[in-house]
């Protein structure tokens, strides 16, 4: 005797596509699209894209941005900035033999109350002494904290992502020891303003 087969409903047919927009600090540009059968299931979903895709400048493909969807209106999902990081292959390309890599992890609070963790790296031309490393790390911490106090979160993130903060650190620290490059390799939003 033949078995009864139950027809399965194709779950893809019940889903709709939602356009995801970047926050105001990135010009509310289109990040991409994501499917869902219920708009409430989109809230909390994280999306990763590169700065090159967002700005159509392919020299910035090494910067990855993370966003989280926090609001859905019709067919449009709005997101918040979670953090950024540089790609692993780009960071590896900066490390050279007989040089020093100086890392700093700095917790800051922006002028509008957002708590961020900023991770930065300096790369020297030759191997540096411990005294030079400590002095450069102090300049990195001081510069990162000073800019955070003066700027709101959106302005601060734009300075980091576009490289202005890195160049400011480079200008201050190159007098202590010859530097090849300074990068802000990662940021994380620790808590939002209340």
By residue range, what is the domain housing residue 39?
16-86
pTM for the model stands at 0.87
SS3 4: coil
Q: Could you say which of 34, 63, 86 is where a domain stops?
A: 86
Per residue in 20-44, pLDDT (tens digit) is: 999 998 889 999 999 998 889 899 9
Cα atoms in the Cβ-side hemisphere of radius 13 Å centred on 8? 3
What is the DSSP-derived secondary structure letter of residue 38?
Answer: S
Would residue 6 count as lying in a domain? no
Q: Could you say which of 29, 56, 86 is where a domain stops?
A: 86
- DSSP E strands: which ranges in 143-192? 179-191
Q: Could you say which of 40, 71, 86 is where a domain stops?
A: 86
**What total number of domains does the chain contain?**
2
- Residues 92, 82 share a domain: no
- Residues 94, 80 share a domain: no
Torsion angle (degrees, nearest 10) of CA 110, 79, 166, 123? 120
Residue 108: CB partners within 8 Å, gap ≥ 6?
Answer: 115, 116, 117, 118, 144, 145, 148, 149
- Residues 108, 78 share a domain: no
Per residue in 126-147, pLDDT (tens digit) is: 999 999 999 999 999 999 999 9
- Asked if pLDDT for residue 48 goes beyond 90, the answer is yes
Closest listed residue to residue 161, CA positions, set 22, 23, 26: 26
């Amino acid at each position: 005797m033949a078995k009864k087969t139950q027809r399965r409903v194709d779950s893809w047919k019940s889903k709709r596509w939602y356009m995801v927009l970047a926050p105001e600090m990135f010009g509310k540009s289109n990040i991409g699209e994501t499917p869902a059968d219920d708009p409430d299931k989109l809230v909390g979903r994280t999306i990763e894209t590169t700065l090159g895709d967002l700005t159509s400048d392919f020299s910035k493909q090494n910067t990855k941005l993370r966003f989280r969807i926090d609001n859905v209106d019709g067919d449009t999902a709005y997101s918040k900035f979670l953090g950024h990081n540089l790609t692993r292959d780009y960071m590896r390309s900066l490390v050279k033999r007989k040089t020093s890599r100086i890392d700093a992890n700095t917790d800051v609070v922006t002028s509008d109350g957002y708590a961020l963790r900023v991770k930065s790296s300096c790369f020297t031309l030759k191997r540096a002494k411990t005294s030079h490393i400590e002095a450069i790390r102090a300049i990195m911490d001081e510069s990162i904290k000073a800019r955070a106090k003066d700027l709101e979160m959106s302005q601060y993130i734009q300075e980091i992502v576009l490289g202005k903060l890195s160049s400011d650190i480079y200008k201050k620290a190159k007098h202590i020891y010859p530097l090849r490059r300074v990068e802000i390799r990662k940021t994380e939003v620790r808590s939002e303003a209340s």
